[in-house]
Structure 1
């Protein structure tokens, strides 16, 4: 088979995106959603594989800044829109796109690549490790009560049209991004993603609604949600579908959750993607009636080991030599000495004896502090070569808060 891998031309976007839609089942997106993704597409970072005049493979990347432990924002390629036509599977097309893409990311000087996986089994062989989880909660608000912190009553809530307050909400979001690893600093245009609300995809729910929390006239939080009405013989049993909730302090956070619990004619709140350590878990009276589940979210790939590891900080002083295996990006393979603490870090090539041996995938999983090196070692994926090195590194790599990706891309 002769195929051509090339950078996406604007004139080819419709055919390229159509191939992607077909790879994901063939259900066409709404015109509103399709227009947004066309606007957000970075054409110089998108590639297509062509078999003659037919597009048979797609892959793209967004230029992101990713919050990492310590509060820095690291340059990261947000890998996206990856698909291969069913007629051309198992012919090396995905591998060729991953090869081209990671070479381009390295040439651009970005130390990290990140993605969300349609199927988590796919990307490990290219060096991506699952680094964050997302929490789903289906809370029975007829049985669960909230324990509210002092100051909750001082927070004023009001309805607002989502588009009318999106600038203020984005400014608040920007204030909290660096407090939690895994969050994305949104570039201009990306705020539209959080307002996207095609009528055909509401599944019986209301249009997007927004409530803002204010104190002394200052915005201190917001929640975006939709309400899906439902009834049976016993009465109303509507569901509040939570899309976004951000707050600057515990009282504002609790006030927003209290509002969601009290929406008329509803009996549950369904939160689709929250941090696994969300404060609401400490507010509820009965966590067993919150029907919790978790799944993988952001997958991280260190494109340049040295640059990536010295971009973040470490909870405790650390001096460790890693023996890194990386068959797909061999420039990372070998020994690296990482020294660092809460103030900064350096990571350089070394010939010193290794303390820990692992693959680039494990470094990706541990990078944001949500997966411990100790747990990876227990699974046989990290080997301790110097006694005590595993605990030293695992504690240092940790994060006080769970890393979290607030939305997909």
Structure 2
């Protein structure tokens, strides 16, 4: 094995991107895609695996802040662009890059690492647990109606240019971020700009991006960005609406936006991707069976520094528990930690006290945002109770009040 993992050099950017594109089956010649990646790249955080002069592996981190239970915004390294050349699979390249990037994350003082997995089976062995899931749906709008809670008819809707309305929409999005675990604070104007960009490979005959604003008393209370894909057959139109994103600050605005999407002329369905698993849509529709709801994994999370990660969030109930954590890939986390916490704050420190719960860092990552309970992980045999009552108390304390969810990928 002669592969070396090191920081990407500035003059390697084009070759680095070509390797990423090939790893994901994309077209390296697509200039629009290349420019979008370049606009958000933090070059100093990009890694390159080289065999001689050939780039055979890529990875990078983005410097985000992640909302955790309690509303705090915690530094989190968002791992992306992980790829290995097909000529170098199963030769330790991925493991070497994961080792380097986690060491770098620790040195940067970021207590959390997150990722969106192209292949979920890969990352558990590196200590990542599935901390959030997302909801998808295909809503048959010819047979499903949307309920209208009080105030829905008071919401004014108007079409707007997606780019010209971006600043106002981003301000509303920023107000939503502290209210849900898993939400990511945009860290640059480049990330904001990407919210109105659609990859060429995703267009597939759809319209350009459209935007509808929801207003009340002249104030923006919600927005939805979407595309329309027309389709005609002998019996008439069968178009579909593709929802890109939707944010709203109250139930009436939420319902008004969903009702609008369901009523767009010449369409018969809404294709929904990446919504929170507790999205109000599930309760607004008249017939959930006609919506084909489905759930998939979303954020994968691992504590890089267990003590600071657990101390950064708040807990739903008072808790005093000794955790015996196993972390083979980041052994500095292995051992017993005493977590003393409540809804106001937490302290997590090393201890010699007897263990009360035993689990790996992967399960700790899965439960960290409050969407997966320690009790259900214990039912799967992944958390072991060493003191009677410790599991129930910790499971309640770790649980969140809203499902964790990240509004966009990286």
1:208 and 2:189 aligned: no
1:118 and 2:150 aligned: no
CA distance in structure 1 between the partners assigned to 2:14 and 2:3 by the alignment: 19
Aligned to 2:79: 79
How far did residue 252 of structure 1 move?
0.7
Q: Deviations over 1:89-127 (max 9, x none)?
A: 111111111001101000000000000111111011110
1:354 and 2:331 aligned: no
Tell me how large the CA RMSD over aligned residues is. Answer: 1.0
Size of the alignment, in residue pairs?
409
Aligned to 2:382: 381
1:300 and 2:301 aligned: yes
Q: What pairs with 1:3-402 in structure 2 (closer than 5 Å)?
A: 3-28=3-28, 30-188=30-188, 189-199=190-200, 201-402=202-403
How far did residue 33 of structure 1 move?
2.3
Q: Deviations over 1:195-240 (max 9, x none)?
A: 1135553101100000001111111100000000112222111100
CA distance in structure 2 between the partners assigned to 1:120 and 1:272 by the alignment: 18
CA distance in structure 1 between the partners assigned to 2:153 and 2:264 by the alignment: 17
Instruction: Tell me if structure 2 keeps the 8 A contact 1:30–1:198.
Output: no
SS in 1 for 2:120: coil
CA distance in structure 1 between the partners assigned to 2:26 and 2:366 by the alignment: 32
CA distance in structure 2 between the partners assigned to 1:118 and 1:90 by the alignment: 17
Change (3 A) 1:375 1:386: same
SS in 2 for 1:6: strand
CA distance in structure 1 between the partners assigned to 2:257 and 2:225 by the alignment: 10
Misfit runs of 4+, over 4 Å: none
Instruction: Tell me if structure 2 keeps the 8 A contact 1:209–1:226.
Output: yes
How far did residue 349 of structure 1 move?
0.5
CA distance in structure 2 between the partners assigned to 1:315 and 1:101 by the alignment: 32
Comparing 365-374 with 23-32, greater Cα deviation is found at 23-32
CA distance in structure 2 between the partners assigned to 1:134 and 1:68 by the alignment: 17
Q: Deviations over 1:160-217 (max 9, x none)?
A: 0100000110010000001110010011210122111355531011000000011111
How far did residue 4 of structure 1 move?
2.1
Instruction: Tell me if structure 2 keeps the 8 A contact 1:30–1:200.
Output: no
Gaps of 5+ in 2: none
Q: Deviations over 1:36-89 (max 9, x none)?
A: 111211111111011111100001000000010000001000001000001011
Using structure 1 for the length normalisation, give the TM-score: 0.98
Q: Deviations over 1:274-293 (max 9, x none)?
A: 00110111111111111011
CA distance in structure 2 between the partners assigned to 1:197 and 1:345 by the alignment: 41
How far did residue 405 of structure 1 move?
1.3
CA distance in structure 1 between the partners assigned to 2:229 and 2:191 by the alignment: 26
CA distance in structure 2 between the partners assigned to 1:400 and 1:201 by the alignment: 34
